[in-house]
Chain A
């Protein structure tokens, strides 16, 4: 039992008490709470953008920019948007990757896991009278790694506060958070064009830095599902899950950059194992605050120490990168329209639904006073030892930028391939490639091989050849039977010109089909058994083979000889490789012969 039972007065009633003193009544606050967009989700699966598509979009965007067309192609809905300066700050909520809830030992299993509702609930999570919160110290590992990865100052002493509101997703009547004294402050994240930052935000520099105001730990809410007309089903499994909220400074000036910031923060959190799932699985949600002011002028508002801004509005609960970008664009345009028509922007909270063209008002924002924040007397302050912070800092796993750079510099991969391989299969694919490179270099003997050359080659095999086999056979990376040793042996044989690359691909496909047991043959065995070893044809052999094929295809030969259609040479090469015995014809040599015979 996690939570200590306090010997305490019995009169307190919990939300779910069946005491007759409390008769059921339609909740008078429901409408208002719903208007606050607090938690009730008629959950629509959020739309994720797969990495490949993201890379493609980025490439497209770059091309468009190079052509001189303006950035933010689809953003130009308001004709005057250039005359206004947009300012955005982001708040990101993400579930921490840890075994227990924040204040009880009930398991904190990922949001998407299919368990029975209301089974992972400690007494405290259901707010039974007399139960007390017990901070689960293991939560600190992912929380601190997140703070360190985002360059924050970890506070030796921080505190817990209650944020009060009544809703059925919150059995206690308050959420425990770190309002007055968060555990991490003053971080930053650096983004470059590679991360999808818009050109205007970069304004000629290589990269920009966005400040992180603070990171706080807090409890997640229960999951509620709406059943029309007015019933709500409550599952407390998620209630009390540890979250961190990451608050950036309002230093972002385009919708595209805002999405890039969230994407990059998510990637950093994943790389240090701090979060469970990304946005695509509902493990990460974002709120954005948006303001505009005429370019070159200064507004009267100040947020997080950044002054001279316009009145801002907040858009809550965005659960995909596309939603972040689109919601900001829509809100920017709405604000410009209002201001150009002589109106005033109200400080308020707004909502956005996927596919909408405008944000909708949820409620006015009178200030945070409504939440009646106060220190939680049940919890001692959180005191974090500097030895722990130092240890986590010195053992912090490599961050995504460094990984991509390493894949490019050490292994000669293109930027695109480096990014792809670093992201695939939780880094397993990259490790596989690195091990294969090492084995190939060993096989070849150090001195004659260039690591970036072999790296690029192996990268191609792992990403494209093996990747292709995975795609066509619909097999997950975890079930791949081909080992690093096998792939290294295949590639070594090609490098030493013992087999053709066509043979090599067939070998890989064969091994891909075989189960990983004792019956599995070695690469050498397969080569021997199939007589696949390259037996080079003699010079005469090549000539004879080429002459045969030229004689059979006089029209084609004429096209090359008389019309100079050099492209057709390769057609002859292809014919020779096909007609020659398996593993005997090398394309380069065949080409030389064809070119000589056809005098091109």
Chain B
């Protein structure tokens, strides 16, 4: 799970696709298209050159992904706030699914991402864009205006508390979506103590 998170970066995935394409699609089909003067598009599209299933373990053989223990499975379910399996059968199914997913992850991890910064989101990453996003004196003008210096000799900066920062008390019914409430509190049912 951890590794999955680490290589979530779209760039890594993108570079995988690119390398696959150049390896299988371009070399094979473009070479062919040079031989035959007319590209047979129909034929080209009739059979995929690559499938995601190549990253999954073969159906008949066991995955070579590390085995997940029952204890680890339950731990992961807890972390994800998912209910535990009903019975042995369901647990076995979960473990098998997880195992093939891990196989997939291992395949993804084979991509060399050294030196590639993960893409977190699409933003203006130019110098200009960064400069515009920078929080400097100008951006803090209003916030600084909400402060005062107290004391004539022993000078102290204090934020003015009387000021209400925004339009406040947003006009919506916070508890309106609550399934259970007591007074102005949400109520949740937890496990029994000990």
List the interface of chain A (C-beta within 8 A of B).
1-2, 14, 16-18, 24-32, 34, 97-100, 105-107, 116-123, 126, 128, 137-138, 140-142, 157, 159, 164-166, 168, 173, 224-226, 228-236, 271-273, 369-370, 372-378, 380-388, 391, 395, 397-398, 403, 426-428, 430-431, 434-435, 438
Contact = CB atoms under 8 A, between A and B. Distances in A.
A99 B188 contact: no
Contacts of A29: 78, 81
Given A166-B81, A427-B154, A372 B2 contact: yes
Task: List the 4 shortest-distance A-B pairs measured between CB atoms, nearest first.
Answer: A385-B136, A99-B165, A434-B153, A138-B143
30 contacts: A17-B177, A25-B189, A26-B191, A28-B191, A29-B81, A30-B191, A99-B146, A99-B159, A117-B184, A118-B185, A118-B186, A119-B184, A121-B170, A138-B165, A142-B159, A166-B81, A232-B190, A234-B188, A369-B1, A372-B79, A375-B118, A377-B120, A383-B130, A384-B136, A385-B134, A385-B137, A388-B139, A403-B154, A434-B152, A434-B154
Contact of B151 (A107, A116, A428): A428
B155 interface: yes
A385 to B, nearest CB: 3
Contacts of B30: none
B114 interface: no
B106 to A, nearest CB: 17
B8 A374 contact: yes
A257 to B, nearest CB: 28
B190 A34 contact: yes
A228 B193 contact: yes
A35 B121 CA distance: 35
Interface residues of B, number: 64
Contacts, number: 221
A451 to B, nearest CB: 12
B156 A31 contact: no
Contacts of B166: 2, 99-100, 105, 107
A128 B123 CA distance: 24
B28 interface: no
B133 A383 contact: yes
A37 to B, nearest CB: 14
Interface string B64-97: 0000000000000011110110000000000000
Contacts of A27: 81, 188-191
Contacts of B180: 24
Contacts of A17: 177
A516 B170 CA distance: 41
Contacts of A34: 190-191, 193
B136 A387 contact: yes
B137 A374 contact: no
B140 A388 contact: yes
A427 B151 CA distance: 8
Interface centre among A226, A231, A434 (most CB of B within 10 A): A231
Contacts of A232: 187-190
B18 interface: no
Interface in B111-158: 118, 120-121, 123, 130, 133-137, 139-140, 142-144, 146-147, 150-158
A234 B144 contact: no
Nearest to A32: B78
Contact of A116 (B118, B144, B177, B184): B184
Contacts of A142: 159
A395 B156 CA distance: 10
A138 B165 CA distance: 10
Contacts of A435: 152-153
Contacts of B178: 16, 18
B152 A431 contact: yes
Contacts of B177: 14, 16-18, 126, 128
A230 B185 contact: no
A118 B79 contact: no
B79 A165 contact: yes
A141 B81 contact: no
A18 B168 CA distance: 26
B165 A233 contact: no
Nearest to A162: B5
Interface centre among A228, A375, A398, A434 (most CB of B within 10 A): A375
Interface centre among A99, A373, A384 (most CB of B within 10 A): A99
A118 B183 CA distance: 10
B159 A119 contact: no
A231 B136 contact: no
A273 B190 contact: no
Contacts of A398: 154-155
A273 B152 contact: no
Contacts of B163: 99
Nearest to A422: B154
Given A99-B164, A385-B137, 8 more contacts: A31-B190, A126-B177, A141-B140, A372-B2, A382-B135, A388-B135, A391-B137, A427-B156
A387 B139 CA distance: 11
Contacts of B188: 27, 168, 224, 231-232, 234
A272 B136 CA distance: 19
B8 A119 contact: no
Given A123-B172, A431-B151, A434-B153, A16 B186 contact: yes
Contacts of B139: 137, 385, 388
B174 A126 contact: yes
A124 B16 CA distance: 36
B137 A388 contact: yes
Contact of B156 (A384, A387, A397): A397
A372 B1 contact: yes
B5 A372 contact: yes
Contacts of A374: 5, 8
A226 B191 CA distance: 11
A230 B135 contact: no
Nearest to B76: A370
B192 interface: yes
B136 A273 contact: no
A380 B129 CA distance: 11
B62 interface: no
Contacts of A228: 193
Given A140-B135, A166-B80, A273 B184 contact: no
Contacts of B134: 383-385
B127 to A, nearest CB: 11
Contact of B189 (A24, A157, A224, A376): A24
A403 B156 CA distance: 11
